[in-house]
Structure 1
Amino acid sequence: MRNKVEQAITDLLAIGVEKGYIDPLDKILKQNQLLALLKKESLGSGLIASHPLPEAKALLPTFLDFAVETGVIEESITEQAIFSAQVMAILTPDTSVVNRKFWEVYAHNPKEATDWFYDLSRDNDYIQTEAIAKNIAFDYASDYGNLELTINLSKPEKDPKAIAAALMTESVHYPLCQLCLENEGYSGTLTHPARANHRIVRFPMDGETWGLQYSPYAYYTEHCIFLASEHRPMKIEEKTFQNLFGIVEQFPHYFVGSNADLPIVGGSILSHDHYQGGRYSFPMDKAPVKEAFTLEAFPEVSFGIVKWPMSVIRMESVDKQALTKAAVHILEQWRGYSDETVDIIAFSQETPHNTITPIARRDGEKFVCDLVLRNNRTSDVHPDGIFHPHRDVQHIKKENIGLIEVMGLAILPPRLKDELAEVEKYLAGEENALADMHREWADGIVVSDGDYRQAIEDAVGAVFQRVLEDAGVYKMTAEGLAAFKRFVDSL
């Protein structure tokens, strides 16, 4: 094992130098940092790097095995995650170096700059590519075009030891949340993820400093997060649209969108101002405009109702200021709009219900912005939300419908991997442990040519279409479109 770990040390340092992450002058410094982390006092002489060099993350099992065997760490999920990040932090340049390199490349080509940062974030195992590869993905040909579905298996399982220890540990609120700048380089604890290998690119936006980072458990290509340097709540307001258009102006090859800012229809982290983006075209992007309309106050902007199960107004213009003003006008009008014939009520006393999920991207010189109308009201019939997945589909998806799902990519819970395997056994007439909540749905699945897997995936896809239809404030029916047009007329 000692010979093996010494070869891993040699290879990791060689990878760092070859990739440009470690300056050759710093090689001995980094070598001694790695020895200190492993509690090793020396390194054998005459070691030569492997040829070809492995991926850096492929060396992690060797480091972990050595650390566990020698008592440096315990064999727990949490300790191994923290230790892995510390190993990769030695490979990872400091924040100042990362930012200097990023902006040097950006001056030549913005896409090459994000390519470099994305490669670093994968090479140093911050983006958990091996975990992401475990996700189960498939498509569904819906009435609105192709929908994409993922059973998310990439998030790490909870460590029982860490859970038990956390209950006995006094809570420390540092960093304040998982999107704060203070996460950069943070070692991690029993209750906060390891981030020693995490780096954030700073960029200016409208007089503020913002951060660009990638998602560790990416749901799509180059899934990134744009975050405010100040820990403050999310809001959908004029500044939101200015920021979205400012981001796609600086990073024209990326889309960017914001979760809605109200519970039920909002994202998982409403306490920190941030947006999600990436280099990806979603099903909603490809959806056509069903009906165009004009607003006299905004002649520079084209508008249209999108053919999509959720209620989407698409705006396009080369003038981002005009687009911002139009978006604010629609937002303000929607905030106070009610139509009880289709269950849309703007306020319950002082509690607001209407908001928007906005998404921006570039199409050549044009700025394109999709405004998805949202309402988070509940009722006795629908206590989880009138425009939320209804109870008859919650056996598949009961979580909030956030930005990513809005655009046609379902993020389904990991429990479905095992539950759908039991559905397949049930349909095949084999012994099974089918969950009661799936039984009625499973009885309605039609299997062709004995292809149980395809039949189940199609049935799950049909449920996701229904989920989006449930979340749409205006249904794609004659009545729903008439109500949608009434709102458009109010503009």
Structure 2
Amino acid sequence: MQIYQHIAILIKQAVDVELIEPGDQIYVRNQILHLLQLESFPESAIEAEDNSIPNSLEKVIGFAVEQGVIDDVFDDKEILAAKIMNCFVARPSEVNRIFNEKYAQSPEDATDYFYKLSKNSNYIQMNRIKKNIHYKADTEYGAMEITINLSKPEKDPEQIKRERTMKKDVHYPKCVLCIENEGYAGRTGYPARSNHRVIRVPLLGEYWYLQYSPYVYYNEHSILLAEEHRDMKIDKEAFGRLLAFVEKFPHYFIGSNADLPIVGGSILSHDHYQAGRYEFAMTNTKDSFTFALNGFGDVFAAVLKWPLSVIRLKSAHKDQLLDAASHVLNTWKNYSDEEVDIKAFSNETPHNTITPIARIRDGVYELDLVLRNNRTTDEHPLGIFHPHADVHHIKKENIGLIEVMGLAVLPARLKDELEEIKRFLLGKLANVNSYHQEWANHIKNTYGQQSDTTEADLIVQKELGAKFSRVLEDAGVFKQNKTGKEAFKRFIDTINHHHNRS
């Protein structure tokens, strides 16, 4: 009988959060019965207690495994969970119709509706995201945010075995961002997307598609993807799309990963941006210094006080801002300054590009241009402007858009490893990883042995924030010292000089 109660609770919750209307209940119930290979539903009244949709869904999936409807394998459970939730979600055309209807009232109403839908349909994995460790750590650059990423589920041994033996050489959808994922059931080694919906957004003569990230790292963490499966590209047109997007959604920022390996994100094969309703440490950081841009009298320009090298351009005139940003990009793409290890090309291979971020603040357009370079050397085989070897014990992965703005996404291994460092700090028997030992010694030498657990916690958090600042400083092309500032000013002179000549 319990399964019928779980189904009833799930349906009641869906009505409560307005995922479905009361008139949809029998239809949805019958769809779910079929997916669970059940043929009838008892007539006796079932008391529906309160719970959350993800919890009820887990219980229903648990039943399906017990009854042998599906195997106890990660992908099979994901596929069935998405199919069950799809019973509650309207068709794409209807979701888009409601979104546009609400957009006519206000852009915020539209995104509120879609964010709520994406959470309630369990497309955004709220239960898993809750597992992440998240806090702010004060640094010289402001309050950096640290996330230890525990939301991605561990794959079970059977899942890993299946992926090795059963993973098909299928190229549909071409990648996890393609529009063909909408409603795709999934398969071994490819995510379940039955309950996935995207919003069509016209931008500069093309359609782009808005969705939320299934594992949001910040409020309303969204992805805007190109209709066509094509490589990431940072150019004037990309800047134009970013500004066109914030005109449509002025309560969101939007940014792009860089378009070169090492400095780009994990997916460079599909043109996409990331957006959301959130203020990062970088959003509110101070100017290091301001400067004039020749030929762009209506554009305010500043270098930010930030570990990465960022030029912030602001203007009420969108076209002039775009021309200025494009000029900075083109100058940077061809810029070398060997005194600070910057080379634009190795033979034909380009090294310089930009991570851009756009927003509208107080009615003024803003573009942050983060200068990036992906050159490698024997001394720094993973990248000169990439986390160096001495910070790999914290982060070895690429510095993508989210990290650039001051939110660290750190590997799950750190959860237990940091606990051992705390024990070490408290003078208890601790098993500190060899790659953390030097850091742990430094912390203990700086603060002394601790007796209070809370204090030890705060110390490790603060030191992790400082270490993350160091990670970002490694990725900055012009360092935060006298040499770096002088080199930055040489680049700015080049921007202005080139404009004079043209």
RMSD: 1.5
Letter in 1 for 2:119: R
Q: 1:327 aligns with which of 294, 310, 325?
A: 325
1:7 aligns with 2:5: yes
Measure, in 1, the Cα distance between the counterparts of 2:298 and 2:426: 58
Measure, in 1, the Cα distance between the counterparts of 2:195 and 2:45: 26
Contact 2:265/2:400 (<8 A) preserved: yes
Measure, in 1, the Cα distance between the counterparts of 2:212 and 2:245: 15
Shift of 1:324: 1.0
TM-score by length of 1: 0.96
Match of residue 472 from structure 1: 476
Match of 1:483, SS state, is helix
Q: 2:429 aligns with which of 431, 441, 465?
A: 431
Match of residue 207 from structure 2: 209
Shift of 1:76: 2.1
Measure, in 2, the Cα distance between the counterparts of 1:93 and 1:128: 19
**5+ residue gaps, structure 1:** none
Measure, in 2, the Cα distance between the counterparts of 1:115 and 1:442: 44
Match of residue 130 from structure 1: 127
Match of residue 363 from structure 1: 361
Measure, in 2, the Cα distance between the counterparts of 1:429 and 1:144: 31
Match of residue 394 from structure 2: 396
Shift of 1:4: 2.1
Contact 1:10/1:47 (<8 A) preserved: no
Mapping 1:449-468, distance limit 5 Å: 449-450=450-451, 451-468=455-472
Match of 1:473, SS state, is coil
Q: 1:123 to 1:49 in 2, by over 3 A?
A: farther
Measure, in 1, the Cα distance between the counterparts of 2:66 and 2:469: 50
Measure, in 2, the Cα distance between the counterparts of 1:25 and 1:430: 61
1:487 aligns with 2:491: yes
1:110 aligns with 2:100: no
Q: Identity of aligned pairs, percent?
A: 52
Shift of 1:57: 2.1
Match of 1:444, SS state, is helix
Q: 1:310 to 1:9 in 2, by over 3 A?
A: same
Match of residue 29 from structure 2: 31
Shift of 1:25: 4.5
1:299 aligns with 2:303: no
Is the deviation greater in 154-163 or in 235-244? 154-163
Measure, in 2, the Cα distance between the counterparts of 1:96 and 1:24: 21
Shift of 1:486: 0.6
1:153 aligns with 2:150: yes
Measure, in 2, the Cα distance between the counterparts of 1:150 and 1:129: 15
Mapping 1:33-432, distance limit 5 Å: 33-47=31-45, 50=48, 53-169=50-166, 170-432=168-430
Measure, in 2, the Cα distance between the counterparts of 1:154 and 1:181: 24
TM-score by length of 2: 0.94
Per-residue Cα deviation, 1:6-39 (whole angstroms, up to 9, x for no partner): 1232333333344443345543322211110010
Shift of 1:263: 0.7
Match of 1:286, SS state, is coil
Shift of 1:49: 6.2
Measure, in 2, the Cα distance between the counterparts of 1:481 and 1:8: 62
Per-residue Cα deviation, 1:278-308 (whole angstroms, up to 9, x for no partner): 0000001111112111113111211011111
Shift of 1:129: 1.2
Is the deviation greater in 440-449 or in 210-219? 440-449
Measure, in 2, the Cα distance between the counterparts of 1:301 and 1:421: 49
Shift of 1:61: 2.6
Measure, in 2, the Cα distance between the counterparts of 1:31 and 1:154: 30
Contact 1:7/1:47 (<8 A) preserved: no
Shift of 1:371: 0.3
Is the deviation greater in 274-283 or in 441-450? 441-450
Per-residue Cα deviation, 1:157-216 (whole angstroms, up to 9, x for no partner): 123212211211232122111101111111122211111111111111111111110011
Match of 1:284, SS state, is coil
Contact 2:308/2:370 (<8 A) preserved: yes
Contact 1:401/1:471 (<8 A) preserved: yes
Match of 2:87, SS state, is helix
Shift of 1:238: 1.2
Contact 1:215/1:224 (<8 A) preserved: yes
Match of 2:210, SS state, is strand
Match of 2:357, SS state, is strand
Letter in 2 for 1:352: P
Contact 2:17/2:120 (<8 A) preserved: no
Shift of 1:48: 5.2
Aligned length: 488
Measure, in 2, the Cα distance between the counterparts of 1:19 and 1:427: 46
Measure, in 2, the Cα distance between the counterparts of 1:233 and 1:123: 32
Measure, in 1, the Cα distance between the counterparts of 2:33 and 2:289: 65
Measure, in 2, the Cα distance between the counterparts of 1:62 and 1:387: 47
Shift of 1:84: 1.3
Measure, in 1, the Cα distance between the counterparts of 2:401 and 2:147: 15
Per-residue Cα deviation, 1:321-372 (whole angstroms, up to 9, x for no partner): 1111111100000000000111111000000000000000110211111000
